[in-house]
C-alpha cells in the first residue's frame, strides 16, 4: 500500500505508518494519511482530491477521526478491515472561477467594518428579501459540525444547510435538498467567497452573483471496521 502523509508534523507519524507496511511515495498513492486535525483533512482533500483519506489524530480538534488509537487504525486498514465513506462536495462558481468545498462554501463581507447586503434564491425562486449581515455559510452534512454549527447550534445528516451569519434581522437557518441550486446576489459589496480553509478565494463586487450547488466530486474517507 502506497501512501503520502499530509500534516505539519508528518515526521512524527512516519515511523508508525511504515511500521504497518505502508510505503511512502511522492505520487500516485493508494491512500493519503491526514495527520493533524479537521483542517488538515480539508487541506489533504484539496491537495489530493478523490484519493482515500486515512485520518490519524494529531490534534485535540479532530472530530472526523476514528475513536480508535492511531496504531489500531493503521493496523485495520492494512488488514483490509475498513469501509470507504463518500462525502459529497459543494461547488461555487463566480466571475469565471470555481471553488470546491468538502465542509462548506462561505460568502463573507470583505470589509469587516461594513456588513454585506445580498439576496438568496433557490432554483430561481427568491428566499425572502434582502439580507444584511456578515454573509452566509452553505454547508454539507460532513461540514455541518463546523462553522455551520457555531452559527446555528445545530447540525444535520442529510441535505445542504444555509446559516446566516450575524444578520441584522432574525434569519433562521435552512436545510434544503442537496440537489437544489443556490444563487447569491451581492447587492452591496465587496464580498469574498471561500471554500473550507483554502487560500484561494473569489472577490465579488456589488451586482456580482455566485452559484452554489452540489458537485459531482466526492471525498473518500477511510473508516476502519
Note the pLDDT tens digit of each residue in 68-127.
999 999 999 999 999 999 999 999 999 999 999 999 999 999 998 999 999 999 999 998
Same domain for 93 and 76?
no
pLDDT at site 170: 76
Residue 209, pLDDT score? 97
Q: Which residues pair with 163 in a beta bridge?
A: 137
Q: Are 96 and 11 part of one and the same domain? A: no
The whole-number pLDDT of residue 59 equals 83
Q: What residue has cell string 507519524? A: 13
The pLDDT of residue 47:
97
pLDDT band at residue 50 using 50, 70 and 90 as cut-offs = very high
Q: What is the pLDDT of residue 93?
A: 98
User: Residue 72 and residue 78: Cα distance in Å, rounded?
Assistant: 10
Give percent of the chain above pLDDT 70: 100
Model confidence at 60: pLDDT above 90 = no
Residue 183: which domain range?
A: 89-215
Question: Whole-model pTM?
Answer: 0.93
> Does residue 69 sit in the same domain as residue 145?
no
| 63 is a domain residue | yes
Determine, yes or no, domain membership for 28: yes
Q: Is 178 helix (H, G, I), strand (E, B) or coil?
A: coil
Among 62, 210, 219, 37, residue whose Cα is nearest residue 137: 210
Domain boundary residue, one of 80, 101, 130: 80
Residue 51 and residue 136 in one domain = no
**198-84-45 Cα angle (round to 5):** 10
Last residue of some domain: 57, 80, 103?
80
Kindly state whether residue 119 falls inside one of the protein's structural domains: yes
Overall number of domains in the chain = 2
Q: What is the mean pLDDT of the chain?
A: 95
- Residues with a known catalytic role: 38
Final residue before a domain boundary, out of 24, 47, 80: 80
Q: Are residues 29 and 107 in the same domain?
A: no
CATH assignment of the domain containing 175: 2.60.200.30
pLDDT at 186: 97
Q: Are residues 148 and 131 part of one domain?
A: yes
pLDDT at 61 over 90: no
> Which of 163, 54, 134, 144 has the alpha carbon at shortest distance from 103?
144
Same domain, 58 and 132: no
**Does some domain include residue 220?**
no
With bands split at pLDDT 50, 70 and 90, how would you rate the model's confidence at 171? confident
Phi, psi of 41, rounded to the nearest 5 degrees = -60, -45
Same domain, 61 and 98: no
The reply to whether 93 and 75 lie within a common domain is no
Pairing of strands 201-204, 191-195: antiparallel
Amino acid at each position: 500500500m502506497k501512501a503520502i502523509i499530509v500534516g505539519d508534523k508528518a515526521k512524527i507519524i512516519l515511523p508508525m505508518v511504515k511500521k504497518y507496511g505502508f510505503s511512502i511515495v511522492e505520487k500516485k498513492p493508494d491512500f493519503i494519511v491526514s495527520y493533524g486535525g479537521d483542517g488538515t483533512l480539508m487541506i489533504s482533500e484539496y491537495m489530493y482530491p478523490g484519493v482515500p483519506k486515512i485520518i490519524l489524530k494529531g490534534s485535540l480538534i479532530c472530530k472526523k477521526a476514528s475513536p480508535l488509537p492511531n496504531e489500531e487504525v493503521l493496523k485495520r486498514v492494512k488488514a483490509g478491515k475498513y469501509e470507504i465513506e463518500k462525502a459529497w462536495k459543494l461547488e461555487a462558481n463566480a466571475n469565471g472561477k470555481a471553488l470546491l468545498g468538502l465542509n462548506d462554501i462561505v460568502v463573507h463581507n470583505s470589509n469587516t467594518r461594513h456588513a454585506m447586503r445580498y439576496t438568496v434564491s433557490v432554483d430561481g425562486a427568491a428566499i425572502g428579501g434582502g439580507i444584511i449581515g456578515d454573509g452566509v455559510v452553505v454547508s454539507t452534512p460532513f461540514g455541518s459540525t463546523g462553522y455551520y454549527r457555531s452559527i446555528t447550534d445545530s447540525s444535520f445528516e442529510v441535505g445542504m444547510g444555509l446559516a446566516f451569519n450575524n444578520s441584522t434581522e432574525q434569519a433562521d437557518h435552512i436545510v434544503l435538498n442537496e440537489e437544489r441550486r443556490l444563487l447569491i446576489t451581492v447587492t452591496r459589496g465587496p464580498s469574498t467567497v471561500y471554500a473550507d480553509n483554502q487560500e484561494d478565494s473569489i472577490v465579488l463586487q456589488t451586482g456580482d452573483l455566485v452559484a452554489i450547488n452540489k458537485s459531482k466530486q466526492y471525498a473518500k474517507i477511510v473508516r476502519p471496521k
